Amino acid sequence: MLATIDLSLIEWSRAQFALTAIYHWLFVPLTLGLAVIMGIMETLYVLTGKDFWKRTVKFWMKLFGINFAIGVATGLILEFQFGTNWSNYSWFVGDIFGAPLAIEGIVAFFMEATFIAVMFFGWEKVGKRFHLASTWLTGIGATFSAWWILVANSWMQYPVGMEFNPETVRNEMVDFMAVAFSPVAVMKFLHTVLSSWIVGATFVIGVSSWYLLRKREKEFAVSSIKVAACVGLFATLVTMGTGDKSAYQVAQTQPMKLAAMEALYEGGTQAPLTVVGDLAIPKMLSFLATRDMNGFVPGINDILEGGYALPDGTKALSAEEKAERGRLAVEALSAFRQAKEADDAAAMQAAREQLDANIAYFGYGYIGHPEMLIPNVWLLFWAFRVMVGFGVYFIAFFALVLFLAWKKELNRFRWLQWLAIISIPCAYLASHAGWIVAEVGRQPWAIQDMLPVNAAISRLEVGTVQTTFFIFLVMFTVLLIAEIGIMLKAIRKGPEA
């Protein structure tokens, strides 16, 4: 069946999903980042009673609302694509993957939608403290929403808490807590949300710096910069820590992704961490991957060829061996279903035993040749360095901005104000680079080791996917241009008197 699928259908479906995800992620990090900054500012308003803080938070709230509305539109389309373009995926793991998405829609999004109305329209209708609670609960709802989305995504990277049911040919959840609170999900949530705070903080500092350049709203701008720089510096420091733990998890659960991130073809002990070119940090990759300076890190060729020792003392299987065991699992599933139709209990039992023995490699049965297991090394290598490089940059950036803000010397350095504006797209670039590492690094898997993309696809006409790709491209671009235009108009107008 899979051999009859047009490869261009797979690539166009992936491109369409990537397009939607890229546009959607332009709006999500700003929503999460602005939410916490607005919460802090309104807390200052309630504590001090100064109308200055009310005026300040209402300005950022206006930009938050513009961004939030467009983010909802792109997010809905993204979720629908699991059913339209990836129906085999939805059938195969819908019982598991659908649960966190359902919770996100019913609980988290409902929470956002409820309190955002009070936040925007309740200033003169409810008390200060109730309004403050609504602002924080809107942000918490957005963060709670991100939690369940990231739980679903983390499960694709590290599938746990399920069993395969040959009767229905579906994976079924057996441990909700293992899915909802897997270590990969927890670390991905912390890393993603905190990195979104960096985007929000950079945005606030950049916009505020524009006011300083224009010699407008000095008190508003400097106060906003102080709050944002504190949030940004905290977020960058913690993000570096969660990134380290995430890299360690990747080494344990997705060694091919780590090898591609480092363009490491031949592994070894005392492996250095490449910075760029010939510049490398001795033994650092071994330490990051194994917590041992002398630890062995497999390269791409090692993973394909197998034979090296795993942490549990066993030998790693080669790609060919995994593919053979995967084919045995696929054949056993077919035999099980045939035996069931023939009502042959003995044959069903034999097929079930063979299936259970090889189910861990089920997805490899759909891998045509070992080279398919290698993701785009060039893209991963540079995306990882863009992400880490900007992470280091933003630590220095926020620290410098915060120092000069408290010293009341921000106005002396116009170059820093221009740098703050330029840093806004840099924050988005770093954020998207992180998602490239996470998602491109998982290829060719829709679900790691369980379901490759060529088995997850819907059987559609290539022309249909191509047409909708360009429709989405135009529609999303128009929405983005509209959002930027509305935001720029609001920024030029400034805080209301």
In a domain, 321, yes or no: no
Give this prediction's pTM: 0.91
Q: How do strand 268-269 and strand 273-276 relate by DSSP bridges? A: unpaired
- The answer to whether the beta carbons of residues 81 and 17 sit under 8 Å apart is yes
Count the helix, strand and coil residues of the chain and give each as a percent rounded to the nearest 5: 75, 5, 20
| pLDDT given at position 426 | 96
- The answer to whether the beta carbons of residues 271 and 292 sit under 8 Å apart is no
- Per-residue confidence in pLDDT tens, the chain, 497 aa: 344 556 788 899 999 999 999 999 999 999 999 999 999 999 999 999 999 999 999 999 999 998 887 887 777 788 788 888 888 888 888 888 888 888 887 777 777 778 888 898 888 888 899 999 999 999 998 898 889 999 999 999 999 999 998 888 888 999 999 999 999 999 999 999 999 999 999 999 999 999 999 998 899 999 999 999 999 999 999 999 999 999 999 999 999 999 999 999 999 999 999 888 788 899 999 999 999 999 999 999 999 999 898 888 889 999 999 999 999 999 999 999 999 888 888 999 999 999 999 999 999 999 988 999 999 999 999 999 999 999 999 999 999 999 999 888 888 889 999 999 999 999 999 999 999 999 999 989 999 999 999 888 888 888 999 999 999 999 999 989 999 999 999 999 988 87
In a domain, 171, yes or no: yes
In a domain, 340, yes or no: no
| pLDDT given at position 2 | 44
> Kindly report the CA angle at 373 between 372 and 374, in degrees rounded to 5?
95
Residue 446: how many other CB atoms lie within 10 Å: 22
* Separation of alpha carbons 274 and 289, rounded Å: 13
In a domain, 278, yes or no: no
| pLDDT given at position 110 | 77
* Separation of alpha carbons 314 and 379, rounded Å: 32
| pLDDT given at position 106 | 79
| pLDDT given at position 1 | 39
In a domain, 10, yes or no: no
| pLDDT given at position 3 | 44
Domain count, the chain: 1
Query: CA–CA distance from 334 to each of 55, 120, 262, 327, 330 (Å)?
Result: 66, 57, 39, 11, 6
Parent domain of 215: 20-266+377-493
In a domain, 487, yes or no: yes
Query: CA–CA distance from 173 to each of 97, 163, 185 (Å)?
Result: 9, 7, 16
| pLDDT given at position 416 | 93
| pLDDT given at position 111 | 78
| pLDDT given at position 203 | 97
In a domain, 77, yes or no: yes
In a domain, 322, yes or no: no
3-state secondary structure of 124: coil
- The answer to whether the beta carbons of residues 460 and 88 sit under 8 Å apart is no
- The answer to whether the beta carbons of residues 387 and 242 sit under 8 Å apart is no
Contacts of 171 (CB under 8 A, 6+ apart): 92, 93, 95, 96, 159, 162, 163, 164, 165, 450
